[in-house]
A = this chain, B = another copy of it.
């Protein structure tokens, strides 16, 4: 028998408890021995729970778990940096293997924790930290191990994907959909981490570190959220043959790593365009496997529990058969990070200009002077003195684009640059 301690008993913790109970027999067969949850750390011992659980299992003292020599495996589901990070370190130092779904702790401290685990002869697994139920951490370490991973495109945040899908399907504005999403529980009451792109940035940091055998500093990831997307941009995208998605992008260009999170135009013909609502997907390109897409529910109680319990099963097998962790590769390859200003992209640009002859010529001249060539220009029908103009550029260096935009903003007849969105040709 292998005894587990759970740190945290919120949504995912309750899901893990439920999966371990519902599929107890099949999990016992796969591990080779029974798994028993010995103790669960909670904040409030008296709180009413959605599952029927013995009061004796609960504790509000973390020492009951990380100092219990009978517990071999600690499952951290508290989330956030502290106290999760400290608890994980203390548990590893007490020779306990770790399973966690904590993207923040893994994105910031993966290497330190892997090193600590190696030193203590235990393992740390974190499939649940990225893309909920979709297997991606283990596939990157095992199934795609033969490949040089060249590109990863992820739709990694369910909340923003739900919002953008809904804005697209029902032609609504951002704030309306956000409010509805919060009512339905698809968005947090404080959704800033989702909407700002920070959540997706943690996840692409983790995937990049594994894919390129490196350590990516999250500060090096360029991040732009979805707050500025308007219904008009989505409509323009549609007319041009695209949908707008919050993409987490990671490329090993051979000259450095290009890692970023931002809204992007994605061709309607690409499989990622069809990843809607709270679904997530990871589309990657490896030198041998070519293009692969993994698609599923990127969050939620049971999908995340599926990944956490998969890690529990693999870890328990290693403990039971006294096998070392075969995936704790201690190589760190150093890669240059390419600054966003150096990256080439096509851009969608939406302007408001005064309805006067010659305005478009002035704008076109600024772009031309900055080596920005345009692939399409649409002057929209207008109902007011201001005319909306939609431009799409060819591939252009971000710094050249930025310089053009600053010059265009300064033109007399330009009322405003309403939005700039990268067009990602996947």
A residues with CB within 8 A of B: 15, 19, 22-23, 26-27, 29-30, 127, 133-135, 138-139, 142-148, 213, 271, 274, 286-297, 300, 302-303, 305-310, 312-314, 317-318, 321, 323-324, 326, 329, 331
Cα(A19)–Cα(B133), bound, Å:
30
**Contact status B289-A297, CB under 8 Å:** yes
**Contact status A289-B302, CB under 8 Å:** yes
- Known contacts A302-B288, A309-B146: does B296 contact A295 (CB below 8 Å)? no
Task: Please give the distance in Å from A414's CB to the nearest CB on chain B.
Answer: 41
Please name 21 pairs of A and B residues whose Cβ atoms are closer than 8 Å in the assembled complex, sorted by A: A15-B288, A19-B146, A19-B147, A22-B148, A22-B287, A29-B331, A135-B142, A138-B139, A142-B142, A142-B313, A143-B307, A146-B305, A146-B313, A289-B296, A289-B297, A289-B306, A290-B302, A292-B296, A314-B326, A323-B323, A323-B324
**Contact status B290-A303, CB under 8 Å:** yes
**Contact status B323-A29, CB under 8 Å:** no
Q: Quick one: closest B residue to A286, CB to CB?
A: B306
- Known contacts A288-B19, A293-B295: does B135 contact A143 (CB below 8 Å)? yes
Pick the most buried of A133, A138, A297, A323: most chain B CB atoms within 10 A of its CB. A133
- Known contacts A23-B148, A27-B146, A313-B146: does B324 contact A133 (CB below 8 Å)? no
**Contact status B292-A134, CB under 8 Å:** yes
Contacts A289-B297, A289-B306 known; 13 new A-B pairs at CB < 8 A:
A23-B287, A23-B288, A26-B213, A133-B288, A134-B292, A135-B143, A139-B139, A139-B143, A142-B310, A142-B313, A289-B307, A290-B296, A290-B297
**Contact status B288-A30, CB under 8 Å:** no
Cα(A294)–Cα(B297), bound, Å:
12
Q: Quick one: closest B residue to A318, CB to CB?
A: B326
- Report which of B145, B213, B295, B309 forms a contact with A288, defined as CB distance below 8 A: B309
Chain B residues near A274: list those with CB within 8 A.
271, 274
Chain B residues near A291: list those with CB within 8 A.
296-297
Chain B residues near A135: list those with CB within 8 A.
135, 139, 142-144
Cα(A31)–Cα(B266), bound, Å:
37
Pick the most buried of A146, A313, A317, A318: most chain B CB atoms within 10 A of its CB. A146
Cα(A286)–Cα(B307), bound, Å:
12
